Amino acid sequence: MSAKTKPGNYFENFHLGQEIVHATPRTVTEGDVALYTALFGSRFVVNSSARFAADLGLGRAPIDSVLAFHIVFGKTVPDISLNAIANLGYAGGRFGELVYPGDTLSTTSTVIGLRQNKDGKNGIVYVRSIGVNQRDEMVVDYIRWVMVPKKDPDAPAPETVVPDLPTAVEAQDLVVPYLPRTGHYGVDRSGSPYLWEDYVVGERIDHIDGMTIEEAEHMLATRLYQNTARVHFNQHIEKDGRFGRRIIYGGYIISLARAISFNGLANALNLAAINGGRHTNPTFAGDTIYAWSEILGKLELPGRADYGALRVRTVATKDRGCADFPYQNAEGKYDPSVVLDFDYTVLMPRRV
């Protein structure tokens, strides 16, 4: 093999404190916004209407928070998870500056934890990744952990360091990008009359709608966000893998769940935090995704009476509607239909 090609990192290639500057910063375009809408059908008004965004004190419509996450995440794949067996979870994620077409995003990561698994064939790598815009302003800052195989099973195990992960992002750490609101919020244009005051902790919402994943759409999204992981791209190899076929990129399911959640959470303007999340079962082309959400908490934002925050758990399922809210059994084992358990915080207008 030529020394000029990069085979991706294996577990033994990572070390604690390692800093990785990821290649190919990406300039966001109007085309990205159009393709995101075409792929996921997202209808959130602040990302759809420049006029509505202006009424909230923004110069123009920002891109969806999850689109920004996709772009920042995709930069990390060649160095962190090109050879990954699975992307296991997220924690401590914060969204900062809103992203607009014309902004250029780049990402750096730091290895904050390592743990070799008992069989000695693979291990868990914990990384903190930070995406910034062309002004070096933070747009996404999050932790994730992935299972990565060892190339050499006899390579010595590193010292085990498992980071202390936060269970949630506190209200005082959330970024509120909207100017203070003094007037009416246009619920007639937003798609729902329900604002922050109308949600109750413990409330569960069946979002009703389902979307079937097409192979071509998934492949387009995976290429679009430059997620080069072989488990998503290479059927020639994956036909001999665990499932015999390519699996759907986990971020694709996050975007579908976010888009589906519009029916019930239409005034959730943007994600402010990712408190935690797991991809609990694999998804494949042909699966139909549904979602339900639970309100885990209501947060008042320091110094702001015009916006509040909701902590939300959104659970996505495949080939099963959510009228009965499928989740976990008494032993904590996920229902086989559950493919995503996502705990996040959104900003929402209050009545003023």
Percentage with pLDDT > 90 across the chain: 84
Q: What is the pLDDT of residue 113?
A: 98
What's the pTM?
A: 0.94
- At residue 177 the predicted structure's pLDDT band, cuts being 50, 70 and 90, is very high
- Whether the CB-CB separation of 260 and 226 falls below 8 Å is answered with no
Question: DSSP E strands: which ranges in the chain?
Answer: 19-21, 26-27, 86-95, 104-116, 122-132, 138-149, 204-206, 211-212, 270-278, 288-300, 307-318, 338-349
Q: What is the pLDDT of residues 214-248, one digit of tens each?
A: 999 999 998 998 887 888 888 888 888 888 898 99
Residue 168 reports pLDDT greater than 70: yes
Residue 88 reports pLDDT greater than 70: yes
Q: What is the pLDDT of residues 248-287, one digit of tens each?
A: 989 999 999 999 999 999 999 999 999 999 999 999 999 9
Q: How many CA atoms lie within 13 A of 146 on its CB side?
A: 25
Q: What is the pLDDT of residues 100-115, one digit of tens each?
A: 999 999 999 999 999 9
Determine the 3-state secondary structure of 280 from DSSP.
coil
Give the whole-angstrom CA distance, residue 182 versus residue 174: 21
Q: What average pLDDT does range 53-74 have in this prediction? A: 94
Give the whole-angstrom CA distance, residue 113 versus residue 69: 22
Q: How far is CA 258 from CA 64, 94, 262, 316, in A?
A: 10, 17, 7, 10
Domain ranges of the chain: 11-154+165-349
Give the whole-angstrom CA distance, residue 331 versus residue 117: 23
Give the whole-angstrom CA distance, residue 18 versus residue 161: 13
Q: What is the pLDDT of residue 229?
A: 80
Residue 81 reports pLDDT greater than 80: yes
Q: What average pLDDT does range 309-324 have in this prediction? A: 98
Q: What is the pLDDT of residue 238?
A: 87
Give the whole-angstrom CA distance, residue 181 versus residue 237: 54
Residue 1 reports pLDDT greater than 60: no
Q: What is the pLDDT of residue 3?
A: 78
The single residue listed with the structure tokens 């309100």 is: 295
Nearest one of 131, 182, 342, 335 to 256, comparing CA atoms:
342
Give the whole-angstrom CA distance, residue 160 versus residue 36: 39
Q: Which amino acid is at 37?
A: T
Tokens of 271: 């994600």
Tell me which architecture the domain covering 11-154+165-349 has in CATH.
Roll (3.10)
- Expressed in angstroms, the distance from the first to the final Cα of the chain is 64
Give the whole-angstrom CA distance, residue 101 versus residue 139: 14
Q: What is the pLDDT of residues 193-222, one digit of tens each?
A: 999 999 999 999 999 999 999 999 999 998
- At residue 2 the predicted structure's pLDDT band, cuts being 50, 70 and 90, is low
Q: What average pLDDT does range 89-101 have in this prediction? A: 97
Q: What is the pLDDT of residue 183?
A: 78
Residues 6+ apart with CB under 8 A from 196: 298, 307, 308, 309, 310, 348, 349, 350, 351
* DSSP state at residue 328: B
Kindly state the greatest CA–CA separation across the chain: 65
Q: What is the pLDDT of residues 103-153, one digit of tens each?
A: 999 999 999 999 999 999 999 999 999 999 999 999 999 999 999 999 999
Q: What average pLDDT does range 322-338 have in this prediction? A: 96
Q: What is the pLDDT of residue 4?
A: 86
Give the whole-angstrom CA distance, residue 193 versus residue 197: 11
Q: What is the pLDDT of residue 169?
A: 97
Nearest one of 271, 267, 254 to 314, comparing CA atoms:
254
Nearest one of 97, 95, 179, 177 to 137, comparing CA atoms:
97
Q: What is the pLDDT of residue 116?
A: 96
Q: What is the pLDDT of residue 232?
A: 85
Nearest one of 265, 351, 340 to 87, comparing CA atoms:
340
Percentage with pLDDT > 70 across the chain: 99
- The dihedral sign for the CA sequence 29, 32, 37, 42: negative
Determine the 3-state secondary structure of 125 from DSSP.
strand
State the burial class of residue 216 (Cβ atoms within 10 Å of its Cβ: 0-12, 13-18, 19+).
exposed
Residue 182 reports pLDDT greater than 80: no
